[in-house]
Amino acid sequence: MADHNELGNTGELLAQDYLSKKGYKILETNWHFQHKEIDIIAIKDDFLVFVEVKTRRTNFFGEPFVFVDNAKQKFIVKAANEYITRFNRNEEARFDIISILYNDFKKDIQHIEDAFYARL
């Protein structure tokens, strides 16, 4: 497996652990619709939370959350709409980003709630 894939998998596991400790109930991980993917789908305080996880070894080119651009947000929103429709979910939806810097010297997790809004 390529190093960036291993880093991504590690980041997603760290994010799941982080969310679980904060009281989130994880419903799905790596949920796919067509070529779109949602890293984590969870429930917390009557919100259906769609979480994008970005993990980087360094912030030299910017914090990891910066890489969740408008195109990525649109993919997430479309997949979230499909999930809500397919599973007849009635909770209010929220889109969060978990930004992780992870290397030999640091493990920094930043959780950004309501990181973006549904725009199609």
Residue corresponding to tokens 């969740």: 68
> Which is higher by pLDDT, 74 or 119?
74
Counting Cβ atoms within 10 Å, is residue 28 exposed (0-12), middle (13-18) or buried (19+)?
middle
Q: Which fold has domain 3-109?
A: Trna Endonuclease; Chain: A, domain 1 (3.40.1350)
Non-local (6+) Cβ contacts of 95 within 8 A are 49, 50, 51, 52, 73, 76, 77, 80, 114, 115, 116, 117, 118
Q: What pLDDT score was predicted for residue 103? A: 74
pLDDT in tens, 46-69: 999 999 999 887 666 667 677 788
Quick: pLDDT tens for 3-44. 556 777 888 999 999 999 999 999 999 999 998 899 999 999
Residue 26: predicted pLDDT: 98
